[in-house]
Chains A and B, each alone.
Chain A
C-alpha cells in the first residue's frame, strides 16, 4: 500500500502543478495516471502544438510545458503510478481514502485531488455493431505483447504513426501476412514511415488497401475475417485474418470516476468554487478540466489557480491544529523533500 498526504488522480499539467503547491506546504503527493507517462492531453494529444495562454510564456509547446512542470516539482519528489487507471475509491476505518487502480495497486491518503482532465484515455473504437463481441478475441486496440501476432494474419486500420509503425514492424518477417487499410491516400504519419510502407507494399510485404475501410467483422467465437469496403465502388472484399488492429489513437472519457458517488454535471465533477474546490465528498477535491462550477473556464491556467487554493484546504484537513501558511517563493526559494 502506497501512503502519502494527497493522492492526485491525473498527471496532466494541473495534477503536476498540484504537487508544487502542496510541496510548498510540506504535503507529499502521489500521482496516478492511466497513461504510461506524465503530461495528460499535452503529451497525448498535442505535444508539438504551441499553447499561448500560459502566463509568462508567449508560446510554449505541450511537451515543453510538461518538461518544465516535471522540473518544477522535482524537489518535492512525488510518487507516480503510471499506466494504471484509478478505478475504485473507498474509505478506510480511519476515514482515509484508499484508491485502487485497474491493475490492483492501492494508495492511501487523507486527501484525494482529482485532476483527471477529460477523463481516462481509451482507444477510439470504430462504430461496428458486433465489435465488443470480438474484443480480445481477435480485435486488439493496444499492442502489449507483439509476440501474440507472430506468424499470424493481421489486418491493421488507421493512417497515423501507430498504425504505420506497427504495420512496418509486423511486416518485417514477423507476421504471416499484414494488410494495412486506410480510408485515404494520405497518411498522418512521419514521411519516412509512409515511404517505407509504400516500398513494402510494392515488394509485396504489406497488402496496402487505400480509400477503403473495414466495415464488418465476422467469426465464430473469435475473429475469422473482416470485410473491407471501397469508398468509391462500395464493393466489399472479404479478408481472412487472425487479428484486426484498429489503431485510431486514444480519446478521453470520464470513466469510472463517474461512479464514485460524486456529483456530476455536464460530464464533469461539481465543486464548490467559492471555497476550496471540494466535491460533495469531504476530503475529495477536483481541479482543472475535470471540475465544473458556475463560470468555469477549461483552461490550464485556471486549473493552476484552483490547485493553489485547493491545497490550502487540504492542509487544514490533514493538519487541523496547525495554522495555515502562505509561502512566497520569491523570498526563500523552494525547499524540497530531498531524495
Chain B
C-alpha cells in the first residue's frame, strides 16, 4: 500500500511481529506498537518523559540522533544501550520502512507486585 510501511518487532519473549504502519496519520512508533496491542506502557503519552516505550534499534534504517529531551530521559532510564531510543520520539514515516526493533525490558518497578 502506498501509505503504509512495515516494521519488524521482537517482543520480550523473542517472538517476531510484523507491524504495518500508516504514514498519513501522524503516528509515532510507540502509538503504532500499542495499536498492535504489544506491551509498551507509553505512560507519559509520548512526551519523552517516562522511558516506558524504550526500544532497541536493530538495523540502521533509523538514525540514532536524538533530541535533548529524549537523551536526557534515556540518561535516567534503565537497561539503556547505545542503540536505545524512545519509540514515542520516532515518527512513522516512509524513511523508516523496514526498521527492525526490539522491546527493552520493562522497568521492574512498574511491573512487580510490590508497590
Contacts and interface: CB of A to CB of B under 8 A. Distances in A.
Interface in B13-61: 41, 43-45, 47, 49-50, 52
Interface stretch (B4-12, B87-95, B102-110): B102-110
Interface residues of A, number: 30
A165 to B, nearest CB: 15
B109 A125 contact: yes
A46 B72 contact: no
Interface in A237-279: 248-249, 251-253, 255-256
Nearest to B113: A258
B115 A256 contact: yes
B115 A251 contact: no
Contact of A125 (B45, B75, B108): B108
A248 B74 CA distance: 11
B75 A159 contact: yes
Contact of A45 (B47, B71, B80, B109): B47
Nearest to B75: A184
B115 A45 contact: no
Nearest to B37: A266
B75 A186 contact: yes
Nearest to A255: B115
B72 A124 contact: no
Contact of A184 (B72, B114, B115): B72
Contacts of A123: 109
B110 A186 contact: no
By size class, the interface of chain B is: 20 to 34
A45 B43 contact: yes
A289 to B, nearest CB: 10
Nearest to B73: A188
A122 B108 CA distance: 12
A127 B78 contact: yes
B62 to A, nearest CB: 21
B65 interface: no
Interface string A123-142: 11111000010000000000
A205 interface: no
B115 A253 contact: yes
A300 to B, nearest CB: 10
Given A123-B109, A159-B76, A251 B71 contact: no
Contact of B72 (A118, A132, A186, A253): A186
Contact of B43 (A122, A183, A251): A251
Contacts of B110: 124, 251, 253
A120 interface: yes
22 contacts: A41-B44, A45-B47, A45-B49, A46-B44, A46-B45, A46-B49, A118-B41, A119-B115, A120-B115, A122-B109, A122-B115, A123-B109, A127-B78, A127-B108, A158-B76, A159-B72, A183-B75, A183-B80, A248-B76, A251-B109, A251-B110, A256-B115
> What are the 9 tightest A-B residue pairs by CB atom distance, in nearest-first order?
A184-B75, A125-B109, A255-B115, A188-B72, A183-B75, A127-B78, A127-B108, A45-B44, A253-B115
